[in-house]
Amino acid sequence: MDWPFEEDLASTKRSVLRAIYWDGDAVAILDQRALPQREVWLRCTDVKQVIKAIRTMAIRGAPAIGIAAAMALALGARDIQAADLQTFRRKFLRLCRLLKETRPTAVNLAWAVDRMYAAIPGNQETDVFDLRRRVREQADALLRQDVLVNESMARIGAEIVPKGARIITYCNTGTLATGGHGTALGVIRTAFAVDPTLRVFACETRPFLQGARLTTYELMADGIPVTLITDNAAGALMARKGVDLVLVGADRIAANGDTANKIGTYTLGVLAKRHEIPFYVVAPRSSFDPAVPDGSAIPLEERDPAEITQLGGRVVAPAGVPVWNPAFDITPHSLINGFITEVGILRKPFDRAIRKALRSGTGAP
């Protein structure tokens, strides 16, 4: 059966948690909407099924949806009917544009799509079969690269984690949001391997509850001490001097350092500033968008009102109440202490540090 199929959690424990992988010629996606109660895998055999998984948040997290888009394009390239290279390129470009429209805020998706299109040579010294092979190889390379980047960020970020740190994190930034290991959770994993006395507070992350459902699930599976708190408890916890560090991920970072991330991140940044707690964003260079000057130019996705008016399928708000449900907010660069990237920690002034990191690719300022 192609989509979906379900596996029982108790009988399918894996040594390594993962969100997406190749299952033969299909893309297997862990349906994160069903976690933590059930492990449901979606076996996607064509582009439309992967797009549906991205749009409905069966797979989410900026790096993970970039990988999903790349793998979707590999499926699409396989299925393109074209006798000549020009027709193949035209149809493939159409698929690229379709993928870019699925989630507008996360720049990793567009970055991955552009990398996939760049894998197609402009010369005529090839054939359609070779183009399909190149596209699949590029998708595989992007997945491997994401894992390596995450591991690099984790090593670099772990150096700033104080011994016995009490860390607040937001949304889900682990294996389920990436190709493996994670961004902010990757830093926590690596730091915990050296210092098992650290503790994590996971905000629930309303309304989709990625923190409550996914972050706690990952950390508990790894044996990392985690306490779940409501989003509006973060300020009280900080006021009691119960937090040493804030680590979050990012969906898009503007040229000046303004950062789009899951709705509620801005609030956490304001609270951290008020209580003089270091606030770091953990993100690969693919999350930086130098074409966007500041946060006001980042498109912010708005989602279905039912995500707020319903909870677990049960209606919890009066019928017809107006709803504003932005999926992301902008944390101004002034609230951020630094960006933990695969090439180092970027510090203020961020505009100059970001330009240098993206241009050189070697070392941070």
Domain residue limits, the chain? 5-149, 160-360
Using CB atoms within 10 Å of the CB of residue 128, give its burial: 0 to 12 exposed, 13 to 18 middle, 19+ buried.
Answer: middle
pLDDT of residue 15: 40
pLDDT digits (tens, 9 = 90+) for 252-262: 999 999 999 99
Which residue in this structure is represented by tokens 């498109």?
299
| CA distances in angstroms from 99 to 104, 188, 289, listed in the order given | 10, 32, 18
Query: Can 84 be counted among the known catalytic residues?
Result: no
What is the β-pairing status of strands 245-248 and 279-282? parallel
Whether the per-residue pLDDT at 184 is higher than 70: the answer is yes
pLDDT digits (tens, 9 = 90+) for 136-153: 999 999 999 999 999 999
What is the β-pairing status of strands 245-248 and 310-311? unpaired
Tell me the pLDDT band of 120, cut-offs 50, 70 and 90: confident
Q: What is the mean pLDDT of residues 178-183?
A: 95
Q: What is the DSSP letter of 275?
A: T
Which residue of the set 31, 146, 231, 251 is catalytic? 251
| CA distances in angstroms from 17 to 13, 248, 355, listed in the order given | 9, 20, 34
Return the beta strands (E) in the chain as ranges: 5-7, 20-23, 26-30, 39-44, 166-169, 199-203, 226-229, 245-248, 252-253, 259-262, 279-282, 310-311, 314-315, 328-331, 338-341, 344-346
CA 98, 82, 111, 49 torsion-angle sign = positive
Q: What is the mean pLDDT of residues 194-219?
A: 97
pLDDT of residue 82: 86
The whole model's pTM is what? 0.90
Tell me the pLDDT band of 361, cut-offs 50, 70 and 90: low
pLDDT digits (tens, 9 = 90+) for 229-255: 999 999 999 999 999 999 999 999 999
Q: Does domain 160-360 have CATH number 3.40.50.10470?
A: yes
CB–CB of 200/226 below 8 Å? yes
CA-based Rg of the chain, rounded to a whole angstrom? 20
pLDDT of residue 123: 61
For residue 323, give the nearest of 170, 211, 206, 232 by alpha carbon. 206
Q: What is the mean pLDDT of residues 187-201?
A: 98
Tell me the pLDDT band of 65, cut-offs 50, 70 and 90: very high
Distance of CA 230 to the CA centre of its chain: 21
pLDDT digits (tens, 9 = 90+) for 69-79: 999 999 999 99
Pick the CATH number of 5-149 from 3.10.450.50, 1.20.120.420, 3.40.50.700, 3.40.50.2300: 1.20.120.420
